[in-house]
Amino acid sequence: MAPVIRPRRLRSTPALRRLVAETTLGPQDLVLPMFVADGIEAPREISSMPGVVQHTSDSLRKAAEEAVRAGVGGLMLFGVPAPDDKDAVGTCADDDYGVLNRALRTLSDDLGDATVLMADTCLDEFTDHGHCGVVDARGRVDNDATLDRYVSMSLAQARAGAHLLGPSGMMDGQVAAIRAGLDAAGFTDTGILAYAAKYASAFYGPFREAVGSSLQGDRRTYQQDAANRIESMREIRLDIDEGADLVMVKPAMSYLDIVRDAAEIADVPVAAYQISGEYSMITAAAERGWIDRDAAAMESLVSIKRAGASIILSYFATEVAARLR
């Protein structure tokens, strides 16, 4: 029997496929995470993330301009202090002259409102123990003492010109604390991109090299267990109630069900972070000739968008945005 219904009909030419595509990806959907380091003379390759570097201030400015020219929707900055500048409370994080705040100020001067400038609001890059918060006498990450540090860090980032702050430490109440701190200081227009559902993931591995993390142990007392889904709904709801302007799910590829759930419950934009390990897996397999880098990068990003994210943080952002243009 010849079939009457033929779904293949709509796949028969590139133009037809384009016409009926349910998901489209644009340069503006992509946000480029960038690393800026103190005390280096030239950009430093991150060996586990081929193609990604720790920037100097100069190379950061050039790469940011290139990304903006390619049409990306925004930039997310991470600071990498000199090892000597790390301490138990991450002093460098809220120092107006700390590496991240200096870089934010520079890019804010260069780019103004031509892009959306975002900052990672977390202590792990700045603490000598590598945890995302301050540690108490018993070695546990102290939630409420950490909130005070996040507020101070947020104010420094707002002063430096960040449009959106990205609290990624998974402390309880972090969005409410930061919102109250910003508002009290008059930064009512500085927004919060909340890492709402963030899982303790093995796929962060290359990031730890990227920021020279000194972490011993793991983050399982604050980041979520991969086994849980309902818990993410609670985290997302809490962050929205606390005043998050956008919510993020992280990582992306192993958590597309959570991205979908987030899109269904959130009445704010949903972002997803295609993290370091996701980038490195694609890059490594492509280097071995096992997969096509461009095609795999595009497919991964379209999948994340299809799952429900309207914004995607990705180390592929500039190259993919340039191709989409």
Least spacing, CB of residue 19 vs ligand PBG, in Å:
35
**Residue whose C-alpha is closest to residue 178's, from 143, 154, 149:** 154
C-beta of 110 vs 285, nearer to ligand PBG: 285
> Is residue 235 marked as binding?
yes
250 given a catalytic annotation: yes
Q: Min. distance of Cβ 275 from ligand PBG in angstroms?
A: 4
Torsion of CA 176, 109, 313, 154, to 10 degrees: -20
69 is in an annotated binding site: no
For residue 221, give both structure tokens: 């007392």
Residue 231 marked ligand-binding: no
- For ligand PBG, which residue of 52, 116, 119, 122 counts as binding (CB under 6 A)? 122
d(CA 169, CA 178): 12
Contact 74, 115 (CB under 8 A): yes
Q: Is 204 in the site for ligand PBG (CB under 6 A)?
A: yes
Q: For strand 44-45 and strand 53-55, is the pairing parallel, antiparallel, or unpaired? A: antiparallel
Q: If binding is defined by CB under 6 A, does position 280 make contact with ligand PBG?
A: no
> Which residue's CB comes closest to ligand PBG?
207
The residues near 120 (Cβ < 8 Å, ≥ 6 apart) are 76, 77, 78, 79, 100, 166, 168
Measured in whole angstroms, the distance separating CA 60 from the mean position of its chain's CA atoms is 17
Asked about 305 being catalytic, the answer comes back as: no
- Between 226 and 265, how does the x/- string for binding to ligand PBG read (CB under 6 A)? ----------------------------------------
Packed helices 99-111 and 57-70: angle between N→C axes, nearest 10 degrees? 40
Q: Which residue from 207, 222, 255, 316 is in contact with ligand PBG, where contact means CB under 6 A?
A: 207
| SS3 label, residue 102 | helix
Interacting residue with ligand PBG among 120, 235, 239, 319 (CB under 6 A): 120
| Residues within window 139-168 making contact with ligand PBG, judged by CB under 6 A | 168
Interacting residue ranges for ligand PBG, rule: CB under 6 A: 120, 122, 124, 132, 168, 204, 207, 219, 275-276
Residues at the binding site are 208, 219, 235, 276, 315
Residues annotated catalytic, as ranges: 198, 250
